[in-house]
Structure 1
Amino acid sequence: MKVLKRIGKILIVFLLLVACLYGFYKVRVSTSGNLNVLIIGIDAREGESVSRSDSLMLAHVNKNHKIVDLISIPRDSYVYIPAVDREEKITHAHAYAGIEGTIETVENLFDIQIDKYVEVDFTKMIALVDTLDGIDVTPTATFCEQDENDQADSYCFTEGEKEHMDGKNALAYARHRKSDSDFARAKRQQEVIKAMVSKVKSESVVTMFNFYQDVTKISDTDFGVWDIFGYADMAFHDFELRQSVGEGEGGMFYDAYYGQNLWQYYLNDAWLENTKILLQE
């Protein structure tokens, strides 16, 4: 049983560390001991064949220092998109060139290599959170949000009041941005990730394996056993989970390509340079 429990923690805790939110992911163990995993959240409607990315996160795992940096990139960040050879909102990269176009754009933005990626529909997190019998989150803002069927104001949250959220509540909390900003939503998504990591580390081996099975059912993966063991020791030591969101300034700016003013978010040069340095550590 001790061996089984150890394997369970290796499989499940490590998965949450490097990809978090909403699904399983593809990972390659790098020789440097560092790993960059791009998490692409989509919110495509039924019948849509092309969609923009609705959420972008970069998980940088530094095995040697036992640190996981989770970096959210605001969807309206105005950056260079190689696939179309011009600057546009980073969310458009996925619509133009899919996963590969998004990866190429993020690699160009940070001057790094993306080792692996995960692309998951927002709604998939419902099943994952429910497998854990919910998560505990203390809302950082007061608001109401529509449900998974677009029914308005179905879920309401109060700032500072701890709440045990099932999958549907967690989804509503993580996707809300109408009352504040994309920046604030990115922070909420990270709160959900952190709660999931905390919960899964404390669960029984049975729950861990149930979670693992749900993850594999809703995801496409080439994550092998040896990849897992490459970073497995992190599951049994204290590690630091550092969270950040791309700093910058948003507003209405003229876009020459579209010939009109559009809402755009310009990442702060200092933040961008500091993040590049962090990703080289």
Structure 2
Amino acid sequence: MKRKIRLLAWTLVILVGTAFIIGAGIYFKTGGSPWQETPEMSAVVVDVADMRKSKLSDSKTDFGDATHINVLVLGLDGRKGVTEPHCDAIHMFSLDIENWTIEVTSVPRGTYAYIPPGNYANNEYYLANACSFAGLDYGIEQIEKIVGVKADYRVTAGFSQVLGILRIFDLPTTDSLQWLRHRRGYAIGDPQRSHNQAVFMKDFIVNEGGRLRNEAAKSLFYVVYSIVDTDMDFGTARALLDGYLSSDIDKRPDDIVLKMKPYYETQDLHLNLENPDVQVQALVDFLKPRTSKEDLSDKSLSDFQNDLITYIESQLKEKSVAGLYDQQLWLQVEDHDIREEFQFRFLEKYSLELIDQDKRDEAIDLISGYISEKETLAEEQSVKLGRGLMANVVQ
């Protein structure tokens, strides 16, 4: 499970205990009939969700004597069926919290790295494989050696999570992801792709930072936080966001410096968000005469979506969905209604798994996070489903 901020244990015990008492009373009053929603039980559901939101709204974090914080951002190759993802995008954010500047050091995924036990083919010794073959912790150690600093925190996201974040900010999904992953059309290949990713993130800060200044928009930040995997607590993340917004970082692009290790001569290429499909199609057209048929698929986006939906349906029939829940495959589904349906079905099944494992508090925390997310995104039907599930879990 993600290492995220949790509700205070004693609060959960009190709330859940109250719910059990109410539920027991209802059970005996109705002669043992299935639980039915009552104002009392609804109040408990609301209290749990409100407690979580109150806890997460506190951004008062003391950084102590720290002047710099290093955050390693990794994009993982987390496609369907992948259990040991590669590190596809590698970027160390060095945050100067005195002057509120940012230095991003990008490392191409193909950079050499030794991988124990040392019996791999010569062309397999590179960082992306180090994360997959020897484990993420080992891969991060190699990245830290190359960059020259240790990460204070790490943030990881797979394909699904990236698509979810792009969708939250109304940015192109498929076209943006294709742009961020493209490398074959460049003379230096992977280093240019790595730099493109850094440029895209800088452009996002400069162009979208202003949207997060009002309190309503700031609530979106929690949704983003809930999508990614990180060992940074939400209070620290929110305090950093507030600090950079207060410093007007989006109006100071020169204070966001992009570097690369090892060094490569790259260009600052920007994705045109007004016509991203035209720009991406130009890359595809450039590659077609230079690429074998085996490397290009004739499948349409619709075909890929149908395959994905079939795969997700099959995974929902598995006994456990714990790993798949963390992977958030539903975020790759383009159709809104189908995506919402899949997310709730995974939530429902995984919550019941946790309860069967005597982890009711984790299930409640999971569902309350879902409710908060859907309230923020104004998904009324999903909020209703989440509250109904919560009521059944806490009774």
Q: What TM-score do the two structures reach when normalised by structure 2?
A: 0.44
The one of 173, 180, 195 equivalent to 2:179 is 173
The one of 62, 75, 79 equivalent to 1:41 is 75
Structure 1 moving runs of 4+ over 6 Å: 8-11
Question: Which range moved further: 213-222 or 54-63?
Answer: 213-222
What is the letter of the counterpart of residue 184 of structure 1?
A: Q
2:79 and 2:158 in contact (8 A); partners too: no
The one of 207, 214, 220 equivalent to 2:217 is 207
What is the letter of the counterpart of residue 191 of structure 2?
A: F
Mapping of residues 151-230 of structure 1, within 5 Å? 166-180=172-186, 181-203=189-211, 204-226=214-236, 228-229=238-239
CA distance in 1, matches of 2:156, 2:62: 16
* The structure with more strand, counted as a fraction of residues: 1
Report the CA distance shift for 1:84/1:228 in structure 2 as closer, same or farther (over 3 A): farther
What is the letter of the counterpart of residue 244 of structure 1?
A: K
CA distance in 2, matches of 1:179, 1:191: 17
CA distance in 1, matches of 2:202, 2:92: 15
1:9 and 1:235 in contact (8 A); partners too: no
Deviations 1:214-266 (A, max 9, x none): 431443554142564367433211441111223457xxxxxxxxxxxxxxxxx
The one of 62, 71, 74 equivalent to 2:96 is 62
Identity of aligned residues (%): 18
1:132 and 1:207 in contact (8 A); partners too: no
Report the CA distance shift for 1:45/1:244 in structure 2 as closer, same or farther (over 3 A): same
The one of 148, 165, 189 equivalent to 1:128 is 165
Question: How far did residue 104 of structure 1 move?
Answer: 1.3
> How many residue pairs end up in the alignment?
196
Deviations 1:37-61 (A, max 9, x none): 1111112332222232111111111
CA distance in 1, matches of 2:113, 2:155: 21
What is the letter of the counterpart of residue 119 of structure 1?
A: T
What is the letter of the counterpart of residue 169 of structure 1?
A: D
1:29 and 1:227 in contact (8 A); partners too: no
What is the letter of the counterpart of residue 131 of structure 1?
A: I
CA distance in 2, matches of 1:126, 1:200: 16
Question: How far did residue 77 of structure 1 move?
Answer: 0.8
Question: How far did residue 33 of structure 1 move?
Answer: 1.3
CA distance in 1, matches of 2:140, 2:179: 27
**SS at structure 2 position matched to 1:91:** helix
1:200 and 1:208 in contact (8 A); partners too: no
Deviations 1:146-203 (A, max 9, x none): xxxxxxxxxxxxxxxxxxxx12221111111121111111122122212321243221
Q: CA RMSD in A?
A: 3.3
**SS at structure 2 position matched to 1:40:** strand
Report the CA distance shift for 1:183/1:226 in structure 2 as closer, same or farther (over 3 A): closer
Q: What TM-score do the two structures reach when normalised by structure 1?
A: 0.59
What is the letter of the counterpart of residue 244 of structure 2?
A: M
Deviations 1:46-96 (A, max 9, x none): 222223211111111112232211111011111345x54799311122113
Unmatched segments (≥5 aa) in structure 1: 1-7, 12-26, 135-165, 250-281
* The structure with more helix, counted as a fraction of residues: 2
- In structure 1, what is the equivalent of residue 258 of structure 2? 243
- In structure 2, what is the equivalent of residue 17 of structure 1? none
**SS at structure 2 position matched to 1:78:** coil
Question: How far did residue 120 of structure 1 move?
Answer: 0.8
Question: How far did residue 101 of structure 1 move?
Answer: 0.8
The one of 145, 149, 158 equivalent to 1:108 is 145
Report the CA distance shift for 1:29/1:174 in structure 2 as closer, same or farther (over 3 A): farther
